[in-house]
């Protein structure tokens, strides 16, 4: 491996915002400033869209205080994009890189972003223009391969846990059936995280449906009826990607005019249609009075002032490590390895090949989903609990002995 | 006034849960234990429904630690009810009170709850059964008369402020039009609170619509178009009670099968219909690509781990004061008087007549709404800002100079 070139670096934030993608950005910035090989650290405004348009800011000029405020903020502080660059798009980016002597590329995002980093690196090699291209993992869905978990998941999982803790207490106070629709097109991790705040045996969510397990409407109604018979109420966490028994998502069946983004994903968030449909089904099949449904929407990924302490620390660490790897290696993706769990939770970081992360996504493993396909296992709780940091304790008095 | 009787006390939580109604409950409990006139402090399970069914728990037995956990928890720890008691219902409650020698009644709720306290007190007087009947204010809507503001509002307002701070940053990262539908049937205070997190001149929400100002669809679309032309994006906070130009709510027009609760209120929450409708209108009228809409739903009133420090302290103080008043007076409602504002924010509590609070509700005063009817004034910000406690700072870098 040749010595790290003396050149400029660019960092971009891609795909959907998260609660800690800015912490990864700050990790890149603070580490880049330590290495004289990196002359300037530029931020690409709106990710690849800024790279292709030559739209950059100088991140090296931010004060320590500004960096801390950014690291604590949700969303993507330099803007993001859902553009999926093809070869021609990447060629134009490389022209800009050459013009600016950018030879370090750090891209924070999901598997599509790893793929972009891979394509850019390969095309640069072919053009004999050496760039060092690194991917830093980020998703709320937790669906990247290789890494134990993704920065961004822990904070979103904390949002779900706190939301369901409150929502379950609300449902105790005014009993009925409550359906909460949670983000996650293909992977159920975030919906499963709704279970993390359970403190009492009969706390909700009482039923959890993830995209990995198709469920017929008959089974869904029967499950809800069973919980209601036992507890007189039922709180349900449903993934936006929940599928009918034939494997087709309910959302797709409902979306007559499905909006499709550039990655070919059907746009499920930002609409109450699925929640309202499920509530309507429950209302008509079970003769219960009070049925409510909420769709959590964009709050799940961009709520201000709510971060998992563990997640934000790891996200920043991943950003710093990407820069360290770039001093030694040509390309790669930063991944997390869990080295201890429970009270001894600890992680190491390591480098993996871009193509290992770029090509596919991860689903919930079978061992995290119960046999009935309507809840999570202890193994999932053990996996996810260390990632959300501290959760509040809650009090409920309706179970006290009567006088 | 006769001496305070030596007897039992009951406390109930009525109407929709809030983030601090449990703090008021704990205020009642801790103060009641200081007064030997109160022999036992009972909690009525599910409010009047528990009183009429003789379903009580002994709140005097809770440990200090248990009380602190309850005070920090959202929702109504002893359950609530939307029953609206008539005279026959109240007569049955008084029978239970007589049987248990309950002569102190503390009811935490909105104006309907003040009315229940008033009816019970009047009927007890007529039956020569002296009870001391006190109302402790609680609403997320902030719509009670007399009091400067309601416990519960500050915490819900903080939720909205943090939600819009994050949502606006999300919209900067992926520009488009975003519509957020916020609780509040008749009063716009909570929707207006969406503005409290604004930190930069061009931060959203850029448009705010409250129930107090009817808006035609033409005006709404024209407003959104104007902001988009100027900023290339638009974040909108809309009350669930938003009215068309004819004064009829859009929600009512949409709700073919409106569900009506016992108080005659149309049930607007728990459905994405209004948000989806508004998004559809914007999409078809303005040819913009990215239009999203969220309905915040029940998270607004029962999110775990999120309280306004000011609100929770005042809520508890109101609970304590109700008990103190009951040692001196026959009945009343606790109200807040603001004695200083801004950095010198301070309040006093005082007693007002139940009927002053029971009969009507409050709307946003004109001086809090801008002339266009699509935003809030500085006077509103000055009024509401001290109530939410600390808000997070956020960082956004897209405005940095280009290199």
Instruction: Give ranges for CATH 3.40.50.460 in chain B.
Output: 153-303+364-387
Rounded to an integer, what distance in angstroms lies between the CA atom of residue B144 and that of residue B71?
22
With an 8 Å Cβ cutoff, are A398 and B292 in contact?
A: no
* A162 at interface of B, judged by CB pairs closer than 8 A: yes
Q: What are B277-326's pLDDT values in tens digits?
A: 899 899 989 988 899 999 999 999 999 999 999 999 999 999 999 999 99
What does the alpha-carbon distance between residue B19 and residue B387 come to, in Å, rounded to a whole number?
13
What's residue A268's pLDDT? Answer: 42
Would the pLDDT of A267 be above 80? Answer: no
Mean pLDDT of the residues in chain B: 94
* CATH of the domain spanning A7-151+306-358: 3.40.50.450
**Domain B153-303+364-387, architecture per CATH:** 3-Layer(aba) Sandwich (3.40)
Give the pLDDT confidence of B210-222 residue by residue, as tens digits: 999 999 999 999 9
**Mean pLDDT of the residues in chain A:** 94
> Which tokens is A214 given?
């198709």
* pLDDT confidence band for A82 (50 / 70 / 90): confident
CA dihedral B166, B172, B176, B178 (to 10 degrees): 20
Kind of pairing between the strands at B38-44 and B56-58: antiparallel
Q: Element (H or E) spanning A347, and its range? A: strand A346-352
A78: left (phi over 0), alpha (psi -120 to 50) or beta: alpha
- On chain A, the residues whose CB falls within 8 A of the CB of B306 are 162, 306
pLDDT band per the 50, 70, 90 thresholds, residue B69: very high
**Does residue A120 have a pLDDT over 60?**
yes
The pair of structure tokens assigned to A177 is 């059936």
Q: Is B270 on the interface with A (CB under 8 A)?
A: yes
**Comma-separated ranges of CATH 3.40.50.450 domains in chain A:** 7-151+306-358
Chain B, window 305-324: residues with a beta carbon less than 8 angstroms from a chain A beta carbon? 305-306
Distance between CA B261 and CA B266 in Å, rounded? Answer: 7
List, as ranges, residues 77-106 from A with C-beta within 8 Å of B.
77-82
Q: Would you call B389 helix, strand, or coil by DSSP?
A: coil
Tens-place pLDDT, residues B50-59: 999 999 999 9
In the numeric block, the tokens 């409050």 are attached to: B362
Q: Is the pLDDT of residue B267 over 70?
A: no
State the average pLDDT over residues A298-321.
97
Q: Among candidates A86, A149, A113, A105, which has minimal Cα distance to A338?
A: A149
What pLDDT does residue B256 have?
47
B144, pLDDT greater than 60: yes
Residue B108, beta-bridge partner list: B13, B136
Over the stretch B223-247, which tens digit does the pLDDT of each residue have?
A: 999 999 999 999 999 999 999 999 9
Alpha-carbon torsion (A17, A147, A305, B300), positive or negative: positive
Give phi and psi for A144, each to the nearest 5.
-85, 145
DSSP-assigned letter for residue B205: P
The percent of residues above 70 in pLDDT, for chain B, comes to 96
pLDDT tens digits, A337-382 = 999 999 999 999 999 999 999 989 999 999 999 999 999 999 999 9
Strand partners, B132: B104
Contacts with B398 (C-beta within 8 Å, 6 or more apart), sequence order: A45, A77, A78, A79, B172
Q: How far apart are CA B37 and CA B34, in angstroms?
A: 9
- The rounded distance, in Å, linking the Cα atoms of B385 and B70 is 26
The one catalytic residue among A141, A143, A167, A223: A141
Taking only the tens place, the pLDDT of each residue in B11-52 is: 999 999 999 999 999 999 999 999 999 999 999 999 999 999
**Chain region(s) in chain B for CATH 3.40.50.450:** 7-142+305-358
Burial class (CB in 10 A: 0-12, 13-18, 19+), B350: middle
- Collect all residues with Cβ–Cβ distance below 8 Å to A365 and sequence separation of at least 6: none
Q: A73 at the B interface (CB within 8 A)?
A: yes
Read off the pLDDT band of A254 (50, 70, 90). confident
Q: Which of B78, B167, B397 sits opposite A302 (nearest CB)?
A: B167
Min Cα separation B380/chain A (Å): 22
Peptide bond into B253 cis (omega under 30): no
Distance CA B70, CA A61 (A): 47
CATH class of B7-142+305-358: alpha beta
CATH superfamily of A155-304+364-387: Phosphofructokinase domain (3.40.50.460)
Decide: residue B255, CB within 10 A, 0-12 exposed, 13-18 middle, 19+ buried: middle
Put simply, whether B301 touches A (Cβ < 8 Å) is yes
3-state secondary structure of B143: coil
Kindly indicate the confidence band of residue B258, based on its pLDDT and cuts at 50, 70 and 90: very low
- Single pTM value for the model: 0.96
Strand pairing report for A38-44 and B234-239: unpaired
Q: Report d(CA B157, CA B145) in Å as an integer.
A: 18
What is the Cα–Cα distance from A279 to A234, expressed in whole angstroms?
12
What's residue B252's pLDDT? 82
Q: Is the pLDDT of residue B63 over 80?
A: yes
Cβ distance A305 to B69 less than 8 Å, yes or no, reads: no
Three-state secondary structure readout of A157-207: HHHHHHHHHHHHHHHHHCCCEEEEEECCCCCCHHHHHHHHHCCCCCCCCCE
Token digits of residue B281: 């209108």
Contacts of B165 in chain A (CB under 8 A): 304-305
Q: Which residue is listed with tokens 């050459």? A: A98
Q: Counting Cβ atoms within 10 Å, is residue A285 exposed (0-12), middle (13-18) or buried (19+)? A: middle
Is pLDDT above 50 for A190?
Answer: yes
Residues of chain A with CATH 3.40.50.460: 155-304+364-387
Per-residue confidence (pLDDT) for residue B185, from 0 to 100: 85
What are the tokens at B324?
């103190």
> How long is chain B?
403
CA-to-CA separations, B293 to A164, A181, B34, B88, B274, in angstroms, rounded: 21, 14, 50, 45, 9
Is-contact A175 A232, C-beta < 8 A? yes
**The residue count for chain A:** 403
Distance CA A76, CA B396 (A): 8
Q: Which residues contact B349 (CB under 8 A, 6 or more apart)?
A: B317, B318, B321, B334, B335, B336, B337
Q: pLDDT digit string (tens) for B160-187?
A: 999 999 999 999 999 999 999 999 989 9
């Amino acid at each position: 491996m040749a010595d790290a070139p003396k050149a400029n670096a660019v960092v971009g934030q891609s795909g959907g915002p998260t609660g800690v993608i800015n912490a990864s950005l700050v990790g890149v910035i603070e580490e880049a400033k330590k290495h004289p090989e990196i002359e300037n650290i530029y931020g690409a405004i709106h990710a690849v869209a800024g790279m292709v348009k030559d739209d950059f800011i100088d991140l090296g000029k931010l004060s320590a205080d500004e960096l801390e405020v950014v690291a604590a903020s949700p969303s993507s502080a330099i803007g993001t994009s859902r553009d999926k660059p093809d070869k021609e798009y990447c060629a134009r980016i490389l022209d800009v890189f050459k013009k600016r002597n950018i030879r370090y590329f750090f891209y924070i995002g999901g598997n599509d972003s790893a793929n972009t980093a891979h394509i850019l690196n390969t095309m640069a090699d072919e053009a004999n223009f050496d760039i060092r291209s690194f991917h830093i993992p980020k998703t709320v869905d937790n669906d990247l391969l290789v890494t134990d978990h993704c920065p961004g998941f822990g904070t979103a999982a904390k949002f779900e846990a706190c939301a369901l803790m409150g929502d379950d207490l609300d449902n105790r106070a005014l009993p009925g059936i409550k359906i909460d629709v949670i983000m996650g097109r293909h992977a159920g991790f975030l919906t499963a995280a709704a279970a993390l705040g359970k403190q009492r045996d009969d706390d909700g969510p009482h039923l959890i449906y993830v995209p990995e397990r198709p469920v017929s409407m008959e089974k869904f109604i029967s499950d809800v009826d069973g919980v209601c018979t036992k507890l007189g109420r039922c709180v349900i966490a449903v993934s936006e990607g929940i599928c009918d028994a034939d494997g087709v998502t309910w959302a797709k069946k409902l979306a007559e005019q499905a909006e499709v983004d550039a990655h070919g994903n059907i746009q499920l968030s930002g609409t109450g249609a699925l929640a309202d449909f499920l509530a309507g089904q429950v209302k008509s099949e079970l003769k219960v009075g009070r049925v409510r449904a909420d769709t959590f929407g964009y709050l799940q990924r961009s709520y201000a002032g709510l971060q998992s302490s563990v997640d934000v620390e790891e996200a920043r660490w991943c950003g710093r490590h990407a820069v360290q790897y770039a001093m030694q290696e040509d390309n790669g993706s930063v991944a997390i390895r869990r080295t201890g769990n429970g009270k001894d939770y600890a992680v190491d970081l390591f480098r993996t090949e871009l193509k290992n992360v770029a090509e596919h996504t991860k689903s919930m493993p079978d061992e995290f989903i119960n046999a009935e396909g309507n809840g999570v296992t202890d193994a999932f709780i053990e996996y996810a609990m260390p990632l959300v940091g501290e959760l509040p304790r809650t009090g409920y008095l309706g179970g006290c002995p009567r006088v």
